[in-house]
Each structure stands twice: as C-alpha cells, then as structure tokens.
Amino acid sequence: AAGVIQSPRHLIKEKRETATLKCYPIPRHDTVYWYQQGPGQDPQFLISFYEKMQSDKGSIPDRFSAQQFSDYHSELNMSSLELGDSALYFCASSLGPLKPQHFGDGTRLSIL
C-alpha cells in the first residue's frame, strides 16, 4: 500500500540558509501534519492542514512556514536555519481529523 512520501531523506545546510521539505500524503488522505523530533526526544507537533487550510499550530518557530497544495501535498519552508533546527522532520497524514496518523520516513536535517 502507498505510504507517506517525504523528500529529501537527508539534507545538510549551513546556518542562516533556507530549506524546503516536501510531503506527499497517502492517496485520499486530506489531513497532513508536521512533527520535529530531536535526538532522544519525542515527536513535537509543528503544524497541520486539513483540506488545504491550516488547522492547528504547535511549536513551530516564526522562521518556519508551511502550506498544503491543491493536490494535498505539503511543504515545510524553513529560513534562517539554526544549529538547533537539526532534527528528524516527520510528515504524517490521516483520512480526516482525529483519525490514526501514518508517518513518512522522515527527513533528517543537519545544520553545520
């Protein structure tokens, strides 16, 4: 079965650079979530979208923004990158709010 697709799998950036992470949800899933997981930490919710509208916002820095497009894929845009942004970034999708979320493989972002 098709799963959540994230790209790139790995990304290396320097401080103050920008990065864009992409997420393609499971077909027919209309809700997308972004999470950040630091080393030894649990996943922390950043932001979510339902039917292309932002539905909830968590601990997402102002330097980050995201959107969901007409084909339901989502992009997380990160600017003025800091060392502390180094983490695994997961995208998850669900068939509607409150439904089980299925995670992509994640993007490992390393800031040098």
Partner 1 sequence: RKEVEQDPGPFNVPEGATVAFNCTYSNSASQSFFWYRQDCRKEPKLLMSVYSSGNEDGRFTAQLNRASQYISLLIRDSKLSDSATYLCAVNNEKAGANNLFFGTGTRLTVIP
Q: Footprint of partner 1 on this chain (CB under 8 A)? A: 31, 33, 35, 41-45, 48, 50, 55-56, 58, 88, 90, 92, 97-106, 108
- Nearer Cβ to partner 1 (13/102): 102
- Nearer Cβ to partner 1 (57/63): 57
Under 8 Å between Cβ of 38 and 103: no
3-state helix/strand/coil string of 26-95: CCCCCEEEEEEECCCCCCEEEEEEECCEEEEECCCCCCEEEEECCCCCEEEEECCCCHHHCEEEEEEEEC
- Nearer Cβ to partner 1 (17/56): 56
Q: How far is the CB of 56 from partner 1 (least distance, A)?
A: 4
